A and B are shown apart, each in its own frame.
Chain A
Amino acid sequence: MADPLIRLRGISRVYGNGDIAVHALDRVDLDIAEGEFVAIMGPSGSGKSTALNVIGCLDSPTSGTYHFDGVEVANLTRDQRALLRRHYLGFVFQGYNLLARTSALHNVELPLIYKGLPSEARHAAARAALAKVGLADRAHHDPGALSGGQQQRVAIARALVGNPRVVLADEPTGNLDTKMSAEIMELLARLNRDEGLTIIMVTHEDDMARFARRLIWMVDGRIDRDGPTPRAA
């Protein structure tokens, strides 16, 4: 079998040191293959976000090895990690994190600016990404003029626009009501099913986790359970 896209071995992330040291991640081993849709769950403070940040190359582990597509991330410089994020990763956050007073279209274009695409190509790609999340008609709205669900869909379009290999979502429905949450999850599930996009998502809600196909349960910085998502009755 080929190497998995993501491979963590003995990954620890320790905050502080001595007596007050917090092991946000404690010797985690984890493989995620291309095309998976993984939900990470667990009690608050169990290290879910930390795990996602390490996988997303936003945070560096204190020890252990992390290979992304065969490349040891620990050996990369800060700028090289930025390039890795730019070309291979997309992020969706709980709080949307769109630029205020900036149109949906321009928000979605943002990653492509750093990719150095010319503006016509950016516009076309951003429009296509907005169409994919069902917001083609909202391209020129500012985030302030969009509902929470719509804002999160703009954020998903931004994560998708650069054709990443993995989308990382930290509680993407945390700020949304049930109906909107379901819309977002359906969108992610469709992207995973139809386009083979790898998705890793942190969530607190069973209903949302059910959209994924694999569930990782974390406790105290360790993986407690790991298996297929129990299907809804």
Chain B
Amino acid sequence: MLRETLRLAIQAIFRNAFRSFLTVLGIVIGVGAVIAMITVGQGSARQVTEDVEKLGSNVLMVLPGKDAMQGGPGGSVDPPFSLRDARLVAEELPFVEIAAPVAFSRGRVVFGNENWLTDIVGTDNGYITAAKWEVARGRLFEEGDLRGGKPVCVIGETVRDRLFGPSDPIGETLRIKSLSCQVVGLLASKGASTFGADQDDFVIMPIRTFHRRIAGNTDVSMIYISAADAMPLARAREDVTLLMREIRRIGPGEEDDFTVADMEQFATMLSGITNVLTGLLSAVAAVSLLVGGIGIMNIMLVSVTERTREIGIRLAIGATGRQVLAQFLVEAIVLSLIGGILGILFGLGMGLAGARWLNVPFAPEARIVLIAFGFSALVGVVFGYFPARRAARMDPIEALRHD
């Protein structure tokens, strides 16, 4: 009987294939949006986790400004750090293996006829090591380069590709603003990060060179710390915070004017954004499912009216009200499940495209797909019940007289 009911439902749906398709569009869009969003969200979360692992879980970044993580870099009115601050962190805290001062700028780099806008970074070898870059060719900075602020630099793969093409960059001289700078090393590519940011697009030079020739001041915009593996990160943060308060002479009861961030925090922040987006989309999806459900109810009411005579025939030859109810309810459920399945496929497709575009792993979740499937069935039941009940309660004589 159930097989017959199913067959009947599918027949009825495909008899008006185009109308059925339009009817389920709301559900397709609702389910599709959720699936796509969650797939991409999960993919980004996974990418962030991988990135964090790549960077090492024992890394802390000290940035000026209370809420540096929220405001983004560059928005701070609080004073920057100095080279001395970085040195103190390294010297005072025994668990700190590396405390590298880092300063940034954007600038155009020129070689021959080629030029390229990139990140100019002033720092020392510690930063390169702590951030897990590998030297592909050439070398890192020597003591003399660092102490004397020599015009030498290490470049990323993207910059090499843009400026040098197939030829060897080592020993060549770049021009950055007024500075002529010799390339001594090339770092191995790290590839794109979460959300597609290019991690190989930079020129690194000794921080003294940067201060003198690029920035014209001695500001340090970040202290990049690598702590000993044995040190719990939370305690490391605490100690770094206390020391920085001392260095920056922040009185008791006063708020920090800097932030000590770790990659986990960064990951939490990103997943926070993802959660907000997922929530928003879920709301859209809920509305869409509601609209889709009303569409199904409408079309089922039309269908019941159109098929009044059929219902009369079925009742006359001995169908019970319950059987007629089942027929139309199953039809509504099948209809909305078709919408759900199309939505799942559409959502996974969008999720795949989105993941490709954002350069994150494609992470479809069986659980979400099952939930979406369940929800579409539920929509069918809820919105199909009323029309089906109307069919089941028809008076056979009147139904047969209907034309």
B384 within 8 A of A: no
Beyond A97-B313, A99-B313, is A114–B319 a contact (Cβ under 8 Å)? yes
**A-B pairs with the 3 shortest C-beta distances?**
A86-B318, A111-B317, A79-B320
Bound Cα distance A99, B11 (Å): 13
B323 within 8 A of A: yes
Q: Return the contact of B1 from the options A59, A87, A91, A113 (Cβ within 8 A).
A: A113
Interface digits, B302-335 against A, CB 8 Å rule (1 contact, 0 not)? 0000000110111111111111000000000000
* B322 and A97 contacting across the interface, CB-CB below 8 Å: no
Which of B4, B309, B314, B316 gathers most chain A CB within 10 Å?
B316
Interface digits, A75-101 against B, CB 8 Å rule (1 contact, 0 not)? 000110011011101110100011101
Interface digits, B181-209 against A, CB 8 Å rule (1 contact, 0 not)? 00000000000000000000000000000
Chain B residues with a Cβ closer than 8 Å to the other chain, count: 20
Can you name 20 A-B residue pairings with CB atoms under 8 Å?
Answer: A53-B397, A56-B316, A58-B315, A59-B397, A78-B320, A79-B320, A79-B322, A82-B320, A82-B321, A83-B318, A83-B320, A85-B317, A93-B400, A97-B309, A99-B310, A110-B317, A114-B314, A114-B323, A116-B1, A162-B318
Closest Cβ of chain B: how far from A165's Cβ, in Å?
A: 13
* A110 and B314 contacting across the interface, CB-CB below 8 Å: yes
Closest to B312 in A: A97
Residue numbers in A under 8 Å from B4 (CB-CB): 113
B15 within 8 A of A: yes
Bound Cα distance A113, B11 (Å): 16
Q: A residues engaging B (CB < 8 A)?
A: 53, 56, 58-59, 78-79, 82-83, 85-87, 89-91, 93, 97-99, 101, 110-111, 113-116, 158, 162
Q: B residues engaging A (CB < 8 A)?
A: 1, 4, 15, 309-310, 312-323, 396-397, 400
Closest to A161 in B: B317
Closest Cβ of chain B: how far from A21's Cβ, in Å?
A: 18
Residue numbers in A under 8 Å from B318 (CB-CB): 82-83, 85-87, 89, 111, 114-115, 162
* B315 and A82 contacting across the interface, CB-CB below 8 Å: yes
Additional A-B contact list (9), CB under 8 Å, known A113-B4, A162-B318 = A58-B315, A79-B322, A82-B320, A83-B320, A87-B318, A89-B318, A91-B317, A110-B314, A114-B317
Closest to A90 in B: B317
Bound Cα distance A89, B317 (Å): 8
Bound Cα distance A116, B323 (Å): 12
Residue numbers in A under 8 Å from B313 (CB-CB): 97-99, 110
Residue numbers in B under 8 Å from A83 (CB-CB): 318, 320
* B317 and A101 contacting across the interface, CB-CB below 8 Å: no
* B323 and A101 contacting across the interface, CB-CB below 8 Å: no
Q: Return the contact of A86 from the options B1, B309, B317, B396 (Cβ within 8 A).
A: B317
Bound Cα distance A206, B312 (Å): 30
Residue numbers in A under 8 Å from B312 (CB-CB): 97
Which of A79, A85, A98, A113 gathers most chain B CB within 10 Å?
A113
Bound Cα distance A79, B319 (Å): 8
Closest to B401 in A: A95
Residue numbers in A under 8 Å from B319 (CB-CB): 82, 86, 114
Closest Cβ of chain A: how far from B15's Cβ, in Å?
A: 7
